[in-house]
């Protein structure tokens, strides 16, 4: 044994011998303590809450210089990695905005993505929709639903060259292109960029297309032009990487307080322009109220959270609220990850308090009673010819049945928009579009151009208010062919009955309720009935001034059996309605038992 080491040990050899150890044990212990003396104490490095570093092992902190097992489990937005759902683990392993090389590789190899990359590709607007279609669907971003003729032409060329030969208008004033092959996805993304557009963040756990009142800026009854707010919100999202860290999808809408609804109360955040009267706690003028937690697939509308904002504060507040959601939303259970569940857990006041921590200005609480009631919504204003706020100008609302717009019609509308209008095209949440800025002298020519494209601006009362999700022709979740069934049913009702008031049919393929069937005058959700395509039928839903969740009229019925049932229901409506009574008010003033009786076959 080295005498130097032996003389330095704190345990003398004599004391070891006194413990009646064998010679072999004494030698082992002397060697052990000599090793400890040589190495000294185990190094300790701890991180304090303030970010400082300590070497004090009695601090109670984890030793960052110790073995991996000594450290606390790594977290992702405060959630231990072992508790994350699989989608959150995928995000932690590789940020979805960093997969450009994978996109290029998949295009070069013309192959479909693995499940984790299938999820990440949605951050770029690319949805691989097999088995419904062995191809990608591209979803765009169209802030406020405003696009230009040259963009519509470019999209027409894209879908003609690489896609299905049409675009689909969506219920978020947006566009989708289907049947894109993997080999073309880089060409598609580059073409989108060349058109001055983007698809980034249009799918998966992101803030979806920012919607706005479709005739904002030209609406004679509006309180505030919200198009710049929608564009600013979209720009903020595109410019900030942390806006892509949400635990679940998120919807934001801006309502101008005018004639056409943007169904703001179905969004996670809805900003609604209001007028404050004199004599209130804030100066009279135009402000925005904030609605939170709309999620109609879960039968919940957004509700007023009690704050009042200036227009210049809206985007900042939305950004702060999104950050609070990112930091605190549930990342363990996809079914409980929407904003609604965070606020259910916390309550509105705590959520607003956390939001204020991200802002340099306070949130002003003002009761809704201090604001004038919202202007009435015209349920027919999205179809037909209407005057604008600007003298001698008009807009034409064009019916696009269930949002399907082929290339030839896209090109014809782009030409009409440039020749007779401003070159602008507005999309609506009702899956139709608007051509604004048409002078009185050009109205007849513009109307003829629309008719020449086999489109209409005076479509049937029911067809013009019908929306439908993709259905089982393009979505693996859908139980039925929603678009074909919706058009067939709407045309059937229009051809058999004289309907004087607008009626909305909302036809969705599954419980995800992309077509928001719970807010339709009549809502239909796809189900299988004895192996055949069918629907659950709900009645009496509405939004905004007609807000209400529809009631179940029929639990399940084959589509083939549906037309005669609707005939009996509309026979009752047309025979028994009060003068000027809408179908919605008729449905709501009758009990479910009475409505079911109207639908039942009559005994001879």
Tens of pLDDT along 242-275? 999 999 999 999 999 999 999 999 999 999 999 9
Same domain, 221 and 264: yes
Same domain, 593 and 505: yes
- Position 355 in a domain: yes
DSSP class per residue in 149-212 = HHHHHHHHHHHHHHSSSEEEE-TTS-EEEEEE-GGGHHHHHHHHHHTT-B-TTSSSSSB-PPEE
Residue 351 has pLDDT above 50, yes or no: yes
- Position 58 in a domain: no
Question: Looking at residue 59, what is its pLDDT?
Answer: 75
Q: H or E segment at 108?
A: helix 100-109
Residue 1 has pLDDT above 50, yes or no: no
Same domain, 441 and 492: no
- Mean pLDDT in residue range 173-200: 98
- Position 68 in a domain: no
- Position 233 in a domain: yes
Residue 206 has pLDDT above 80, yes or no: yes
Q: H or E segment at 413?
A: helix 407-420
Among 365, 381, 397, the domain boundary falls at: 381
Question: Looking at residue 57, what is its pLDDT?
Answer: 80
- Mean pLDDT in residue range 520-541: 97
Confidence of residue 480 (pLDDT cuts 50, 70, 90): very high
Residue 31 has pLDDT above 80, yes or no: no
* Backbone φ, ψ for residue 602 (5° rounding): -85, 135
Task: Report the percentage of the chain scoring pLDDT > 90.
Answer: 85
Q: For 363, left (φ over 0), alpha (ψ -120 to 50), or beta?
A: beta
Confidence of residue 12 (pLDDT cuts 50, 70, 90): very low
SS (H, E, C) 7-53: HHCCCCHHHHHCCCCCHHHHHHHHHHHHHHHHHCCCCCCEECCCCCE
Same domain, 494 and 397: no
Lowest mean pLDDT among 63-67, 208-212, 515-519: 63-67
Question: Looking at residue 21, what is its pLDDT?
Answer: 67
Question: Looking at residue 141, what is its pLDDT?
Answer: 98
Question: Looking at residue 47, what is its pLDDT?
Answer: 81
Among 403, 430, 452, the domain boundary falls at: 452
- Mean pLDDT in residue range 508-517: 95
- Mean pLDDT in residue range 559-566: 98
Residue 563 has pLDDT above 80, yes or no: yes
Lowest mean pLDDT among 71-80, 84-93, 523-532: 71-80
Residue 13 has pLDDT above 70, yes or no: no
Same domain, 550 and 483: yes
Same domain, 354 and 467: no
Among 381, 410, 437, the domain boundary falls at: 381
The CATH number assigned to the domain holding 532 equals: 3.30.413.10
Same domain, 259 and 332: yes
Residue 459 has pLDDT above 90, yes or no: no
- Position 427 in a domain: yes
Same domain, 374 and 248: yes
Residue 168 has pLDDT above 70, yes or no: yes
- Position 535 in a domain: yes
CA distances from 488 to 457, 463, 478, 482, 506 (A): 19, 9, 18, 10, 13
Confidence of residue 85 (pLDDT cuts 50, 70, 90): very high
Same domain, 593 and 547: yes
Listed residue (242, 125, 277, 243) closest to 191, CA to CA: 125
Q: 329, 339 in Cβ contact below 8 A?
A: yes
Residue 6 has pLDDT above 50, yes or no: no
Residue 62 has pLDDT above 90, yes or no: no
Question: Looking at residue 500, what is its pLDDT?
Answer: 85
Q: Give, as one character, the DSSP assignment of residue 81.
A: G
Question: Looking at residue 10, what is its pLDDT?
Answer: 44
- Position 376 in a domain: yes
- Position 194 in a domain: no
Same domain, 409 and 356: no
Confidence of residue 68 (pLDDT cuts 50, 70, 90): low
Q: For 515, left (φ over 0), alpha (ψ -120 to 50), or beta?
A: alpha
Same domain, 245 and 330: yes
Q: 420, 435 in Cβ contact below 8 A?
A: yes
Name the average pLDDT for the chain. 92
Residue 11 has pLDDT above 70, yes or no: no
- Mean pLDDT in residue range 291-315: 95
The CATH number assigned to the domain holding 423 equals: 3.30.70.3340
Q: 311, 224 in Cβ contact below 8 A?
A: yes
Same domain, 423 and 516: no
Q: Range of 547's domain?
A: 463-599
Question: Hey, what are 303's tokens?
Answer: 């509700």
Tell me whether the omega of the peptide bond preceding residue 241 falls within 30 degrees of 0, making it cis: no
Total of domains in the chain:
4
Residue 3 has pLDDT above 60, yes or no: no
Confidence of residue 30 (pLDDT cuts 50, 70, 90): low
**Number of DSSP helices (H) and strands (E) in the chain, helices first:** 18, 25
Question: Hey, what are 188's tokens?
Answer: 């598609």
Neighbours of 542 (CB within 10 A): 23
Between these two residues, 298 and 242, which has the higher pLDDT value?
242
Question: Hey, what are 490's tokens?
Answer: 């709407």
Lowest mean pLDDT among 46-60, 183-197, 539-553: 46-60
Question: Hey, what are 273's tokens?
Answer: 């322009």
């Amino acid at each position: 044994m080295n005498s130097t080491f032996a003389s330095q040990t704190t345990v003398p050899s004599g004391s070891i011998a006194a413990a009646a150890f064998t010679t072999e044990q004494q030698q082992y212990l002397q060697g052990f303590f000599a090793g400890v003396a040589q190495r000294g104490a185990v190094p300790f490095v701890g991180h304090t809450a303030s970010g400082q570093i300590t070497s004090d092992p009695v601090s109670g902190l984890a030793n960052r210089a110790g073995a991996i097992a000594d450290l606390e489990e790594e977290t992702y937005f405060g959630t231990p990695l072992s508790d994350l759902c699989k989608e959150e683990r995928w995000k932690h392993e590789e940020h979805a905005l960093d997969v450009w090389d994978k996109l290029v590789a998949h295009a070069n190899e013309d192959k479909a993505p693995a499940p984790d990359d299938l999820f990440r590709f949605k951050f770029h607007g690319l949805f691989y929709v097999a088995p419904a279609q062995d191809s990608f669907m591209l979803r765009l971003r169209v802030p406020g639903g405003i696009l230009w003729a040259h963009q519509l032409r470019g999209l027409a060329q894209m879908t003609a060259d690489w896609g299905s030969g049409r675009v689909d208008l969506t219920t978020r004033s947006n566009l989708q292109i289907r049947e894109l092959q993997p080999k073309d996805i880089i060409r598609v993304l580059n073409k989108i960029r060349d058109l001055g557009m983007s698809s980034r963040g249009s799918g998966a756990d992101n803030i979806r297309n920012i919607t706005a009142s479709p005739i904002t800026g030209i609406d004679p009854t509006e309180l505030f032009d919200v198009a710049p707010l929608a564009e600013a919100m979209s720009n903020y999202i595109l410019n900030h990487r942390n806006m892509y860290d949400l635990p679940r999808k998120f919807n934001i809408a801006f309502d101008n307080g005018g004639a056409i609804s943007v169904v703001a109360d179905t969004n996670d955040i809805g900003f609604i322009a209001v007028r404050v009267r004199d004599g209130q706690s804030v100066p009279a003028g135009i402000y925005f109220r904030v609605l939170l937690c709309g999620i109609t697939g879960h039968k919940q509308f957004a509700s007023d959270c009690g704050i009042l904002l200036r227009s210049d504060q809206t985007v900042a507040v939305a950004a702060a609220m999104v950050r609070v959601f990112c930091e605190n939303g549930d990342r363990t259970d996809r079914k409980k990850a929407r904003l609604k569940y965070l606020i259910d857990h916390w309550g509105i006041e705590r959520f607003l308090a956390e939001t204020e921590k991200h802002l340099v200005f306070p949130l002003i609480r003002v009761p809704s009673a201090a604001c004038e009631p919202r202007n009435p919504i015209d349920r027919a204003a999205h179809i037909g010819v209407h005057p604008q706020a600007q003298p001698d100008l008009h807009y034409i609302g064009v019916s696009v049945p269930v949002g399907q717009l082929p290339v030839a019609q896209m090109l014809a509308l782009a030409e009409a928009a440039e020749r007779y209008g401003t070159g602008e095209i507005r999309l609506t949440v009702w899956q139709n579009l608007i051509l604004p800025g048409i002078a009185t002298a050009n109205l007849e020519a513009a109307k003829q151009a629309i008719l020449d494209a086999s489109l209409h601006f005076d479509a049937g009362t029911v067809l013009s208010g019908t929306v439908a999700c993709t259905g089982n022709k393009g979505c693996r979740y859908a139980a039925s062919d929603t678009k074909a069934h919706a058009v067939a049913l709407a045309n059937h009702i229009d051809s058999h009955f004289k309907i004087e008031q607008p009626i909305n049919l909302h036809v969705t393929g599954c419980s995800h309720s992309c077509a928001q069937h719970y807010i339709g005058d009549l809502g239909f959700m796809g189900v299988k009935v004895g192996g055949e395509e069918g629907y659950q039928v709900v009645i009496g839903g509405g939004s905004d001034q007609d807000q209400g969740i529809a009631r179940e009229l029929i639990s399940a019925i084959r589509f083939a059996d549906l037309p005669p049932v609707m005939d009996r229901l509309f026979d009752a409506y047309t025979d028994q309605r009060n003068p000027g009574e809408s179908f919605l008010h008729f449905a709501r003033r009758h009990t479910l038992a009475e409505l079911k009786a109207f639908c039942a076959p009559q005994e001879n």
